[in-house]
Amino acid sequence: MQLTPTTQRTPSREMLDVLIRAGLIAILAVFCFRIFAPFLNLMAWSVILAITLYPLQVLLRPMFGGKDGLIATLIVLVAFAVILVPTYVLGLAVGDSIEKSIATFKGGGLHIPPPAESVSSWPVIGPRVYGFWQQASTDLTGLAQRFAPQLKEAGLALFAMLTGLGAGLVIFFVALIIAGILMAYGEKGYRSAVQIASRISGPEEGTQIADLCTATIRAVAQGVVGIAFIQMLLIGIGFIVMGIPGAGLLALAVLLLGIMQLPATLITIPVIIFVILTDGVSTATIIFSVYIFVAGLADNVLKPLLLGRGVAVPMPVVLVGALGGMVTGGVIGLFVGPVVLAVGYQLFWRWVRDQPQPQQAQPSQEQKQA
């Protein structure tokens, strides 16, 4: 039986069909990504929060008879309260402090003590600091007018930062609600993650990769919160001992900055300047300044110790992934970076170890007869 010309399929025609199908799939993938892109950060945060909080849901499950929806709702409500109440109190305190500072400055009640003569003998910066400090103690209004453009730019930058923090907080709350929905279907979500990982890397590695991603996200999240809490304690104790006004609120601000991966020096350096300007340079203020400055940088030492705990990859891999991810992708990269690097590390070494064994030489016919 001969095939008619209409039923014959040449290799070039088959290749053209494959290219057309691949092109259509690529176009579909691009359109899907463009539609989903505005929600990418939101969904990433939702997944991170769900994975981080899910062990708490498993712990509470026996107490509530396995009602996952109710447990997830309670966790989300408690998380809202834990975040909103301190943020609200901190906002009121900051607003009140700014209002009082403006009123004091306008009323002429702000007085800066004159600098000690020893300040002028400081190396390199002594004379400039002495002159600046001396003018601030005698003519603060003229000094403010002198640096008015710089103060305006700093104020605009501070306003932009506060606006960004507010928008980020709203996104975080929405992500927390979505995370609650994901936690309510946690078992199904885990099975889906295993199926996806198995489809990509093979059925024998799917569960391991899914567990690795989960453990890495939890280790980074717990490390971030733990480091922020330790730093808050170190700095808060120094503030209380030194008698800094609003020490508790400032320590709470350090905790929030640590969770958002912002440097604690945004709080510690202004406090150090305030203490030196109000109490002068003495042994106590120098010790306090050095301690608070070192405590503000403690996260750089604590991150290598806490970020990699409980993950089946070396700690440097998680640390490099966290730092590199934060540099390239911001706060969300702090979690995505370690996951990608840990999975890549595991797959690379599995590929290295999965080498074909050398075949043993078969005995010849004369050797068999012998």
- Is pTM beyond 0.85 here? no
Position 322 scores a pLDDT of 79
Q: How many CB atoms lie within 10 A of CB 340?
A: 16
Burial class (CB in 10 A: 0-12, 13-18, 19+), 180: buried
Report pLDDT digits (tens) over 204-239: 778 888 888 888 888 888 777 788 888 888 888 888
Position 273 scores a pLDDT of 85
Report pLDDT digits (tens) over 298-350: 887 777 777 666 677 777 788 788 778 877 877 777 788 888 888 888 888 87
Read off the DSSP letter of residue 122: S
Q: How many CB atoms lie within 10 A of CB 175?
A: 20
Category of 2 on φ-ψ map: left (φ > 0), alpha (ψ -120 to 50) or beta? beta
d(CA 211, CA 190): 9
Report pLDDT digits (tens) over 152-161: 777 777 777 6
Position 26 scores a pLDDT of 94
Report pLDDT digits (tens) over 270-285: 888 888 877 777 888 8
Dihedral sign of CA atoms 100, 103, 109, 111 in order: positive
d(CA 190, CA 197): 11
In this structure, what token pair is assigned to residue 165?
A: 């923090």
Confidence tier at 359 by pLDDT (50, 70, 90)? low
Domain boundaries, the chain: 39-155+165-184, 213-351
Highest mean pLDDT among 35-44, 255-264, 359-368: 35-44
Closest listed residue to residue 219, CA positions, set 305, 131, 91: 305
d(CA 268, CA 294): 10
| Percent of residues, the chain, with pLDDT higher than 70 | 81
Confidence tier at 1 by pLDDT (50, 70, 90)? very low
Closest listed residue to residue 250, CA positions, set 265, 262, 263, 239: 239
101-116 average pLDDT score: 66
Amino acid at 276: I
CA end-to-end span of the chain, whole Å?
Answer: 57
Kind plus residue range of the DSSP H or E element containing 328: helix 315-353
Position 99 scores a pLDDT of 72
